[in-house]
Chains A and B, each alone.
Chain A
């Protein structure tokens, strides 16, 4: 059992929690993820590790409530325990001295970008970050990203805060200004990662994206997380999660991520009910 030692709401349906997992806290590197299972009936939920505290023996996760399992996780509080936590999984980010690294985070994607930005900074890079959200209230980790980066730009789709528009517009500005970018790290919703990759492709700027396909075991056994990279099938759990954005078949990823829309909707409607902001599980049949 893994105790939740801290829980903070970051934005509407987005929260941050610290979870006891001393060995993982010691071993994990930027870019890696864990898989949680909340209880005996639970599904396996892959989540990127945002940070860790070796002394406390905790890892930090940031989660957006998108379905039944993440809503149930959202209802757990400090002092509650998670049944299973396994990791660190996936390959760590390739950290190197690239000169200038532009870190781009879209929505909840800013969470996995933060540890990479930190590691890139430590490796001697000049780190310039762009974070964006649909609207101001959904923006997360602005303070942390500002502390980590040499320069931070913020965008909102509706113009409620920062630059009115998309992260890719700011990225394009940097390129147009002649900034010598050594590497772009872009993490967020699939359309955003595709847009970032399309922005840098004409200039051959190395671009890393972190993919979030449907997974089951996450240890290189089942093959659920397969994606097409440069026309070849790869497995995100052991070959990724990070890939060259210019090689990723994003269209396929979008379709595969929709595999269980019908089932997810059914689970939400039939097995949970809401009171105010809370999501409760119906009693089992």
Chain B
């Protein structure tokens, strides 16, 4: 690209994506941003200066050829753009919405050095949505069956990626899902207003049309063990069983009625559709004042969900300051627009209940930041005598997850760390057990969709190699 054109392109402002107004959207569960129009997408795509050595590709955990697909969008070849992305990413409509691009591809975008980076995530979303909405989802050519069968445990982001990659290499894949719907955290965890469930199901359908078999309601470790899978004709197993039991703080009153884990609160609302109770049968306590404990994306998802279930006030209680909030800036911004309150440098001490065991207040204490800890973040310490109470009938504890115990309980030779997470070789996803691979939250604890997909990609390559060479 000649320097003059590059200069012209740098002048184009970052395109704004329209979205539901805060007042409107807190009354519904519809998606907040509307997405780019075709004109906007082409204009935004022109902002990409097509670097010879694009840093964005390295910033992407699944190494999407970003400049290429953006060039196709700029040329108006939207369907081709989507197919380009799908060569390396099985779930583009999902990633375009929930990836933290500001910490990955967009963070290293050269255009962003002098101004705003190219909206890579929004362009990815646009291409995937365009292809789906125009009925252009095309199944790639699948090679002849290699004669190998792979079992995938868990139909979340990691498992679906493994399934997609291996089917494309000609292997037969069966995905075993514990819940009644495929998608894992994309279905039970991330709210409808951030990731519409019909989009997740469309991506799952796409994998099924490519030939991946998905068996629902199958809890591996219970209905069949890993050893049984290996003995019953599967040549390799990938374990992507995801986040396990929620962490609690072990403070008094944690089991009062009205104290939820984020996993439970979000599962009731997202997977079981409790926001449509009683039309859907799973109930949820509505309440009016909500305290959410934690500062990550799950805390934001919980808080913004609670906002939509008509409470008077939703407060995030976080023990460090605003700078340390681990949530995406965009989520914090959306939450604040919607009226979410932040009680920073504050930690809960106990939950106070009434005589029926129902939550009525959360006693908190003020914190201040002390010396830096091993993670380099300044450690919060209690300010003596600063206790105060926040009235609340619902509290949602969003401070992370442990590991699901079902696979390690029933497969002793898969080594786990002291928290119960499966140990793997990070380059290959191989576990301590021959033929068994793993990745995603069962390995990482709580991480992101795209990191789980990156694990899936690496494991799929390694599974393919193992099946071809037989070398462990």
A positions within 8 Å CB-CB of B: 23-24, 27, 37, 41-44, 68-69, 83-89, 216-217, 219-224, 226-228, 233, 235, 238, 252, 255-256, 258-260, 263-264, 266-267, 270-271, 284-285
A227 to B248 CA separation, bound complex (whole angstroms)? 13
- Beta-carbon nearest neighbor of A271 in chain B: B278
Residue contact A238 to B281, C-beta cutoff 8 Å: no
Interface positions of B from 231 to 248, Cβ below 8 Å from A: 242-246, 248
A238 to B409 CA separation, bound complex (whole angstroms)? 10
Q: A219-B406, A223-B261 are in contact. Are A41 and B223 (CB under 8 A)?
A: no
Contacts of A89 in B (CB 8 A): 219, 222
Nearest-neighbour CB distance to chain A for B205, whole angstroms, equals 17
A121 to B278 CA separation, bound complex (whole angstroms)? 45
In the complex, which of the residues A85, A223, A266 contacts B246, with contact meaning CB atoms closer than 8 Å? A223
Contacts of B245 in A (CB 8 A): 220-221, 223, 235, 238
Contacts of B224 in A (CB 8 A): 23, 27
A266 to B285 CA separation, bound complex (whole angstroms)? 13
Residue contact B285 to A255, C-beta cutoff 8 Å: no
Q: A259-B257, A270-B278 are in contact. Are A217 and B178 (CB under 8 A)?
A: yes
A221 to B270 CA separation, bound complex (whole angstroms)? 14
- Report if B405 contacts A (CB, 8 A): yes
In the complex, which of the residues A27, A220, A264, A284 contacts B404, with contact meaning CB atoms closer than 8 Å? A220
Interface positions of B from 276 to 307, Cβ below 8 Å from A: 277-285
Most A C-beta atoms less than 10 A away, residue of B217, B250, B271: B217
Contacts of B219 in A (CB 8 A): 86-87, 89, 219
A23 to B222 CA separation, bound complex (whole angstroms)? 10
In the complex, 6 of the A-B residue pairs with CB atoms within 8 angstroms, ordered by the A residue number, are A86-B178, A216-B267, A219-B179, A222-B264, A233-B250, A267-B281
- Report if B200 contacts A (CB, 8 A): no
Residue contact B216 to A238, C-beta cutoff 8 Å: no
In the complex, which of the residues B258, B272, B404 contacts A216, with contact meaning CB atoms closer than 8 Å? B272
A84 to B258 CA separation, bound complex (whole angstroms)? 28
Nearest-neighbour CB distance to chain A for B329, whole angstroms, equals 28
Nearest-neighbour CB distance to chain B for A39, whole angstroms, equals 9
A238 to B406 CA separation, bound complex (whole angstroms)? 7
- Beta-carbon nearest neighbor of B261 in chain A: A223
Contacts of A37 in B (CB 8 A): 180
Q: A42-B281, A216-B267 are in contact. Are A255 and B357 (CB under 8 A)?
A: yes
In the complex, which of the residues B250, B257, B261, B409 contacts A222, with contact meaning CB atoms closer than 8 Å? B261
Residue contact B255 to A85, C-beta cutoff 8 Å: no
Interface footprint category on B: 35 or more
A41 to B264 CA separation, bound complex (whole angstroms)? 18
- Report if B268 contacts A (CB, 8 A): yes
Nearest-neighbour CB distance to chain B for A153, whole angstroms, equals 35
Residue contact A260 to B283, C-beta cutoff 8 Å: yes
8 interchain residue pairs of minimum CB distance: A255-B357, A263-B283, A86-B217, A43-B281, A223-B261, A222-B264, A43-B282, A223-B246
Interface readout for B205-224 with A: 1 if CB under 8 Å, 0 if not?
A: 00000000000111100111
Interface positions of B from 19 to 34, Cβ below 8 Å from A: none
Residue contact A219 to B180, C-beta cutoff 8 Å: no
- Report if B2 contacts A (CB, 8 A): no
- Report if B106 contacts A (CB, 8 A): no
Nearest-neighbour CB distance to chain A for B82, whole angstroms, equals 30
- Report if B263 contacts A (CB, 8 A): yes
Nearest-neighbour CB distance to chain A for B338, whole angstroms, equals 25
Q: A221-B243, A223-B246 are in contact. Are A88 and B222 (CB under 8 A)?
A: yes
- Report if B203 contacts A (CB, 8 A): no
- Report if B427 contacts A (CB, 8 A): no
Contacts of B283 in A (CB 8 A): 43, 260, 263-264, 267
Nearest-neighbour CB distance to chain A for B372, whole angstroms, equals 31
- Report if B374 contacts A (CB, 8 A): no
- Beta-carbon nearest neighbor of A39 in chain B: B281
Nearest-neighbour CB distance to chain B for A222, whole angstroms, equals 4
Contacts of B243 in A (CB 8 A): 221
- Beta-carbon nearest neighbor of A260 in chain B: B283
- Report if B44 contacts A (CB, 8 A): no
A244 to B4 CA separation, bound complex (whole angstroms)? 78
A216 to B264 CA separation, bound complex (whole angstroms)? 7
In the complex, which of the residues A41, A83, A220 contacts B281, with contact meaning CB atoms closer than 8 Å? A41
Residue contact B280 to A233, C-beta cutoff 8 Å: no
In the complex, which of the residues B246, B357, B404 contacts A252, with contact meaning CB atoms closer than 8 Å? B357
